[in-house]
Amino acid sequence: MIKQIGPEGLDFFTFSAADLHWPELHKLMPSNGNSETSAKNHQQNIIDNPHIADWFFYKRFEIFFNDVLKEKWELEDWWYRFEWQHRGSVHVHGIGKRRGAPSIE
């Protein structure tokens, strides 16, 4: 694809969760709701409640993608996928095609 449309037409991205450093996430955790707990407690909260951590990451990514990537990069087409590291922390990889970039076909 790079040879077809050039590097200026495609944007590759990877975003990972700073899940141990998001006080807003840890306030949502059912175990304590206290964002001032230790890093060990934060890690255990994420292990015990992966659905909350994943939802929180997805919402943060969705807002960033819609408000920054699509608007500022002027994306007209994109693809991305979520993956989980061995310890369960989510990240997303993707590619976006900018408006006005040559066709891939």
Domain parsing of the chain, residue ranges: 2-91
Model pLDDT, residue 86 = 72
Rounded mean pLDDT, 84-100: 86
Rounded to the nearest 5°, which phi and psi values hold at 39? -60, -35
Which ranges of 20-87 does DSSP label H, i.e. alpha helix? 23-27, 39-48, 50-64, 70-72
pTM of the shown model = 0.79
At 91, the pLDDT band (50, 70, 90 cuts) reads: very high
- Provide the percentage of residues in the chain whose pLDDT is more than 70: 84
> Which helix (H) or strand (E) is 14 found in, with range?
strand 10-16
Model pLDDT, residue 47 = 86
At 16, the pLDDT band (50, 70, 90 cuts) reads: very high
CA dist., res. 86 & res. 64, Å (int): 25
Of 9, 14, 10, nearest to 65 by C-alpha is 14
